[in-house]
Each structure stands twice: as C-alpha cells, then as structure tokens.
Chain A
Amino acid sequence: MKLLFERSVPGRKTQVLPPCDVETVEIPKEYKRLTLLPLPELSEVDVTRHYTELDHQVFGVNCGFYPLGSCTMKYNPRVDEETAALPGFTGIHPLAPASAVKGCEEILQTAKKDLCEISGMDDMTFQPAAGAHGEFTGVLLIKQYHDSRGDTARRKIIVPDSAHGTNPATASMCGFEVVNVASAPDGGIDLDALESVLGPDTAGLMLTNPNTLGLFDRNILKITSMVHEAGGLCYYDGANLNAVMGLVRPGDMGFDCVHMNLHKTFATPHGGGGPGAGAVGCKAFLAQFLPHSVLMDAKDGKPAPENAAIGHGGRIQVRGFAGNFLIVVRALTYILSLGKEGIPETAENAVLNANYLMHQLEDMYRVAYPRTCMHEFVLDLQDLKEETGCSALDVAKTLIDYGIHPPTMYFPLIVHEALMLEPTETESRETLDEAAEVFRKVYQLAHDDPDYVKASPHSTVIGRPDEVQASRHPVVKYG
C-alpha cells in the first residue's frame, strides 16, 4: 500500500488552531531552520483512511489466538483503556504541586501496595518504562548495594543459559561481567555449575522462575540461599510471573529485588512494541537505592543532595518523572477487577491452559522437557525437520494461514528448533482445541507437502520478506 508521503498533495492541509491572538514573533535568523520541513500534506480523510488500512494489516490479540511464549499475550480489557483515558489522569502535569496530584499519588501508592503484596517486596518504583528497563534498575540496586559497602570486588552477574537476551545485556550495561551457567538436564539450574561460579566476586544472580522453558525450578530455595551465602543478591525477572502470581511470591523464594512487566502479567496492551512498564520492587534494605526524579523531588521541597556520588547518598534516576503512569492506571484497574481471588485464579488457569494444550500436542510434536509445565512449554521440532525438511520457522509461518499468531521461535537458545507456546488464561477450551487441530494439520502437511509449508504463509499481504537484503542494503526511510 501507499506510504503517507505517496499520498501527499502540495498545499493540502488541515485546520486545527484558531488564528494567533497575540503579536507573532519569528525565530531569529541565526537560529532559523533553513531546510524544508519534509512532512506529508494531507487531509483528515487521507489520514484516517491511511491508518485504517494499516490497522487492517495488523494482527492483534483481539484478532485471534496469540500463543507467543514468554510474551503473555493475554486479552487487554477495554475498561483499562477507559480509566486510563480519564481527563483527571491524562491532563496532569508531572511537575504540578503536590496538592494538585493527590489522585495520581493515590494510584501509585495503591499500585505499589498491591504489587508489593503480590511480589513479596517492601518498596517499589514505577519509573522503569519496560521489562529491560526494570532489569537495568534492579541490577543498579545490586550495584549500589555493593558499592555502598565498599564491596567493589563483586564484578560478576550470573545468568542461566536459558535467559532472555536482555539479562546479559543488562548486566553489561551496569558494568558487570556476565557469567553464564548451564541448565541441568531437567531444565533447571545445574547446582554444581552454579556452585563452581559463585565466589567473592559474585555480585548477584538474575533469574526467571518459572524459566523460559516454562519450568518451575524445584531447587529455587537452594539456589537463592547459595547466592546469598556467597554474598551476592538475587534478582527476579518477572517476565513469567503470570504463572505464579498470587500463589508464590518472589520475595518468599529468596529474591531481593524484582521487576514485573505490567504489560504482560497485568494485562496492559503491548501497543505493537510498547509502551510497557517495568515496576521494580525490592526488600527494605535496598529501598534507599530506588530511583527518584530530581525535578519532582525539588518541586516537593526535597532537593537532591549536592555532589553526592550514586550509592553514597546520591540517587539514581532511570527516566524522566514518575514513569509510564497511564500504564500503572491500567494495571491497577486490572488488579482491582480481579482482586484477591482473581489474581491466583488467573495464574492457575494460565498453567492449566498450557498443560492442556501441551497434552493435546505431545503425541505428535516432541515436547522439549516433557513434564508438567507452568504457563508455557517448548516444542522441539528437530525430528520434524529431519523427517520433512520443514523447520520451526516453516511451521510457524504456516500457522498464520490458519489464523494463529506464530509462537515464539528459536528461543530459548538451548533448544535448536524451538517453538514456545504460551496460551494464557484468557483463551477458551474451544480455542485451544481448535489450535491443537491446526497444529496437527500442519504436522501432517509438513509430511504430505513440505514445499507448500516451506513457502507459507500463502494468505497474507506479503510473502516472506527478504531480510538479508534489508540488512545488506538498508533502506530505513522514504525518499
């Protein structure tokens, strides 16, 4: 379809503002823009038709089954959008005086109390804007803790080999050396491997539990106590909290700090890649290291301590102001709706749905770790590939033709032909039955007509794009 720029007609425009009611002032010549402003010139109808056409080429959660492992693509309640659009929230300046923002503060305080309760933490910040940003914040808590004690030899962060790529990338950004530990044959952390890397240089461990294989680590209490004994701290990556919320608390598992993806577990929409919110909770002894906003504090009469180094009285700040506030409004709406019974019920049914679907598929597809899973499971398509030549990618692309969003592919890295499925609790049994039927059909198709599968999808506006060309000869803007 056409780009905005290809629809542009010189001189066409919209009229939004009244005429200027004061004397007009021009920007001084020496600061003036000399080049043209190359934006499209369109009418309102042009704009709305364009975006409606684009919207029709997007697969959202409301379009169909979205079993994207590790992404928790659950239904996003519309009421959450409505509360987040209340003018009493959208119109509030972050630097308005404390007397004018009591409602916003009530939202943040209530969400903090509830999410601390769910995670077993004592204090929390909403400043991080995403999961990876929450990891960054959490690992900076660990760094400040060691720095504040003068324990500067702790340079290593331990990450399991099944971890999401953001974990090692985060540790690097925080100046730590990354130590990867192997998984045991049962998919959990190999305790011997962990023991061998722990020592006086251990700053901490980053762990997702259940892990990215969808397995709950049976040795979790042992793992966190081993890290603590070595003098390190334990960071809980809350990417998979949906499996256990309301049932098991990261704080009770021995974690010192945690991030929660409000855009996964607490049902706020993914928006095509964001915005999310990565609320970071911590135990009381780390609370002094949580981020602040320098201007919001100054506004409230709490100016930042001058020249104090971070970790020694100086505070960190990971983005402007209080964070993605409207995402917190949505998440709180969701928490209030579910309440104390609904939160654990959600987790239980996410796990039930995953096990139900896995059970339907396991006679045909090989499950990478065949045991009771949590909210997601991983299929290993190595056998299918050897038999038919059809890869995990080919199967994933074929699912599209049956109205199913592909599962997460080729992750975690320790399973080579991986398809990772997370159905979430918001799917009905019929949807799971239908999806299982589709998976069986595709399996059969891979044997009967592998070339067809390898050329799929066949029903979409484009076929498989040439990614090599995109990377070798980058075209990253129009014109």
Chain B
Amino acid sequence: MGTYIPSTKGERDEMLASLGLPAGEEGYRKLYSDVPESVFRSHELDLPEGMSELSVVRKMTRIAGENKTYQTILRGAGAYDHYIPAIVKSIPNKEEFLTAYTPYQAEINQGILQSIFEYQTMICGLTGMDVSNASVYDGATAAAEAAAMCRSPKRRVTLVSATTNPEVISVIRTYCYGAGTELRIVPAKDGRTDVSKLAEMLTEDVAGLYLQQPNFYGLFEDAKAIGELVHAHKAMYIMGCSPIALSVMATPGECGADIAVGEGQSLGLPLAYGGPYLGYMATTSKNMRKLPGRIVGQTTDHEGKRAYVLSLQAREQHIRREKASSNICSNEALCALTASVYMAYMGPSGMKEVAMQSMSKAHYLAKKLTAIPGVRLRYSGAFFDEFLTDMPKADAVLEALDAEGILGGLPVEEGILWCATEKVSKDAMDHTAAIVKEVLAQ
C-alpha cells in the first residue's frame, strides 16, 4: 500500500514512549482518550486494501480509458475546447506554485502575490474595469456573487436575462434562495433580451441586471443600450462575458457595466468534466470595497522596496465573520495563475487570433450546415462562436457524428447549440457537414 508517513514503527513507539504512552495500538488509543468509546473504531471501514503506486496508476488509467475522447468537439455551452499551449500546462505544475498555501505570509510568497497582482491587472485590461479580485470558483458563482454585490436594503431583486446560460441562472437562483431575495427572469425575444420587457421590469426594488455577452445562444446583445437603460432606473449592471470574446468585443467598461464577471476556463484550463475552472470578477473603483474574495495590493516594505500583500482584508470572513460580504476563503488561485500564463504567452495578438479564428470557424460551420436542406439558424442576429440550429432528426445526427469521433452541438430547446473554436479544422467541419447531410437525406 502507498504511504506518506515517514516514521517507522520503531520511531512511532519511541515517540509514544516519550509521551509516557504504551507502544502500538494501545498508545494510539490513549491519544484518543477524549473520544467516546461507543464511536471509536465502532465501524469496520469498508474500503479496499491500499495499493502501490503502480497499481493505482494502472487502475486510474483503466478508468480514464472508459471515457470517450473526441477528435473534434463542437460543443460549448459553458465549457470550451480551446488549444492549451505546452508552457501553460508546465508552469502551474511547478511544485512551489502547486503546493503553497494562500499567501498570508507575504515575505515568503511574493511569487504568488505578484502573479495574482499581474492576473488582476490582465483581467482589468481584458474587461476595461478598475479592480479585479484574485478569482472565485467559476463563472456561475462569480455571477451570483456579483448579484449579491448589487443588493441594498431597498433594492433586493435581481434580474437575469433569459438568454443567460441555464447553469448560471440556476446558481444565481440558489444564492438568492440562500439570501432570501428574489430572482426575476427577463424574457427573450428572437434569442436576445427583450428590451421593452426589461424596461417594464426595472422597478424601484431592482438591485441589478445580469446580462451574458455573447449570450447563451452565441448572439451579441445590445449591451451598451441595455446598460444605459439599467442605469436610468438606478440599478446596477453586471455583464458576464466570454474572456476570449473580450479581446475583440466591446468591454464591460465600454458598455458602462458596474461589474464584469465570467468563466475563465477558456484561458488555458482543460475541459476536465467541469472543473477546476475559474470565475473572474472585476468592478469599478467605486465598488472596490464591495468586491468579495481576496485582492492583492501593492505596497512597500520597511526599506521602501516594492512588495505585494493580501489587501483590503477588512471585507473578508476571517475578519468580519457574519458581517462579511461573502464566505469565500479558498478560491481558484492556481487556475488564475494558469490563465495569467495563458494571457501572457498569447499576448494581445495571440488572444485576438484565437477570438477571430473561433468566430470565423463557427461562421464557416454555420454556413456549411445551413446549406443542407432542412437545416436553418433559429435566430438571425450576429453571433460569435456559438449558434443554434433547427433540424430534423437531431438525435440521429448527433449519434452519427459521435460514431465518427465528433462531439456535435448540445441539444437545447428542441434545437442544437453548436460551437467552434480555433482547434476545429476546416476538414473536420466539412466532414461534419457531410455526415449531417447524409443523415438528413436518409
């Protein structure tokens, strides 16, 4: 069996003896003398015997082999198959980054603190906001935390557009349930937020609106106009944006958002069956002290040397306890580091290239698919890298693609939500279209 306890049995007995305790099991039992007899080792653990490293690796490799890995992934809906450069995998695997605790001890953790400061700077640059935190769990929890930031005693209702990813809506609803506040869904019209309905719903009790850009159907919303409308009713405006799209798309800052959040998985993190992912969260200077989670600030040491520390901690649970803005403690620091390496490595031109290629390929795929009789785009608006189609025999189409090692789009609202990234080749899309055509012709 594997073990990570260095001390030998002899050493353990000597250590027990130094405490005046008998050797072996008897000595250990005395260490647990506060534990009531009725619950101590009262249950025979039904676990397998321990395994050697080689046996464990064999077993886990066998289990991983039970999964199907696709050559081509045309599914997004919150998790995106972007290319991850080699260096983006190797740097976060350095043992010190990997195994360190939260950098409360600044003197021996400048490396982590500086990397977070750089992450915050890049998130601010990407979103056009003034201040970013050091990450939260994922895009959905970032949205829910942002909704909480907007609330005041008089304004307790959160509006969320129906064009938002259902996972995000579900998480915001859960956080609202916890806080005892109300969530109202703004209906969609032609796949985009119904702005006239929104205007009616912006009542005096509304704290904020959450808008996803591009939205769940891949469509661009009129984010700037919606922001003006929300502000005209004195509510706060949260935008949830794809970080890849942000390198080419009008930023939350440009659209007048008060809070920018999103799922950072696209920035170098693998699909990994849903996690670990990365929630990014940024806001304006005005709202800085409402931002939950850790924030790294720059300062100096006693010699005037530049230094970084966990700052503004008076907001956080370990100081404010029940009055804290959030209970968040552990975050996704290593994922934020990964995203930083990704952004630093890709640079502005590489990031724009990923966005441009993803968008171009999605449009090529849409063009190829809609050229097939019976396939049409459900919505006509401009889209980024996802789009929704209507077609007959959707199940048969997806099965036929699956058999060819292609993960087709996600069945959504009786249609299929497709996604393309820079990883998808023209040949793979041509092949996809040919299969769809064949199935529909049958």
Contacts and interface: CB of A to CB of B under 8 A. Distances in A.
B441 interface: no
B107 A96 contact: no
B45 A27 contact: no
B442 interface: no
A95 B40 contact: no
B28 A333 contact: no
Contact of B39 (A47, A56, A129, A248): A248
A240 interface: no
B426 interface: yes
Contacts, number: 694
A351 B31 contact: yes
Contacts of B288: 474, 476
Contact of A321 (B30, B274, B382, B398): B274
Given A17-B422, A58-B111, A295-B166, A321 B275 contact: yes
A94 B35 CA distance: 42
Point out which of B49, B64, B121, B305 has the most chain A C-beta atoms below 10 A from its C-beta: B64
Contacts of A135: 327
B170 interface: yes
A274 B330 contact: yes
A91 B125 CA distance: 29
Interface in A1-29: 1, 3-5, 12-14, 16-17, 20-28
Interface residues of B, number: 208
B218 interface: no
Nearest to A468: B299
B272 A252 contact: no
A364 interface: no
Given A465-B309, A467-B309, A272 B100 contact: yes
Contacts of B355: 27
Contacts of B38: 221
B43 A249 contact: yes
Contact of A54 (B31, B66, B115, B356): B115
Interface string A313-354: 000111111111111010011011111111111101101110
Point out which of A100, A319, A353 has the most chain B C-beta atoms below 10 A from its C-beta: A319
23 contacts: A17-B353, A21-B426, A27-B249, A34-B250, A51-B91, A57-B109, A77-B4, A93-B407, A106-B66, A215-B34, A216-B35, A218-B34, A247-B41, A269-B99, A270-B330, A271-B334, A272-B334, A273-B330, A304-B170, A322-B273, A336-B51, A474-B295, A477-B120
A470 B310 CA distance: 9
B418 interface: no
B285 to A, nearest CB: 9
B177 A140 contact: yes
Contacts of A444: none
Given A16-B85, A71-B101, A318-B141, A337 B250 contact: no
B118 A247 contact: no
A61 interface: yes
A359 B14 CA distance: 13
B77 to A, nearest CB: 6
A196 interface: no
B110 A461 contact: yes
A133 B140 CA distance: 13
Nearest to B398: A97
A132 B330 contact: yes
B360 to A, nearest CB: 5
A423 B78 CA distance: 40
B422 to A, nearest CB: 6
A436 B326 CA distance: 38
A75 B4 CA distance: 8
B132 interface: yes
Interface string B331-348: 111110100110111111
Contacts of B91: 47-48, 51, 55
A320 B97 contact: no
A190 interface: no
Interface stretch (B193-201, B202-210, B314-322, B369-377): B314-322
B191 to A, nearest CB: 15
A272 B337 contact: yes
Point out which of B108, B132, B140, B324 has the most chain A C-beta atoms below 10 A from its C-beta: B108
Point out which of A136, A339, A470 has the most chain B C-beta atoms below 10 A from its C-beta: A470
A111 to B, nearest CB: 11
- List 9 A-B pairs, minimum CB-CB distance, nearest first: A339-B50, A88-B64, A321-B274, A337-B2, A271-B334, A273-B333, A103-B66, A275-B276, A57-B111
Interface in B12-65: 12, 14-16, 18-19, 28, 30-36, 38-43, 45-53, 56-57, 59-61, 63-65
A96 B53 CA distance: 30
A441 interface: no
Interface string B100-129: 111101111111101111101110111010
Interface string A270-303: 1111111000000000000001011110110000
Contacts of A52: 94
A230 interface: no
Interface stretch (A197-205, A382-390, A426-434, A445-453): A426-434
A4 B246 CA distance: 20
A274 B122 contact: no
Interface in B295-312: 295-303, 305, 307-309, 311-312
Contact of B1 (A76, A172, A252, A338): A338
Given A14-B346, A39-B347, A425-B4, 16 more contacts: A35-B251, A54-B110, A58-B111, A82-B57, A88-B65, A104-B67, A271-B98, A320-B277, A326-B272, A349-B7, A400-B108, A461-B110, A466-B299, A467-B299, A470-B298, A474-B131
A415 interface: no
A225 B318 CA distance: 29
A174 interface: yes
Nearest to B36: A221
A182 interface: no
A221 B357 CA distance: 62
A94 B314 contact: no
A462 B295 CA distance: 19
Interface in B65-106: 65-70, 73, 75, 77-79, 81, 83, 85, 87, 91-103, 105-106
A263 interface: yes
B30 to A, nearest CB: 8
A244 interface: yes
A28 to B, nearest CB: 5
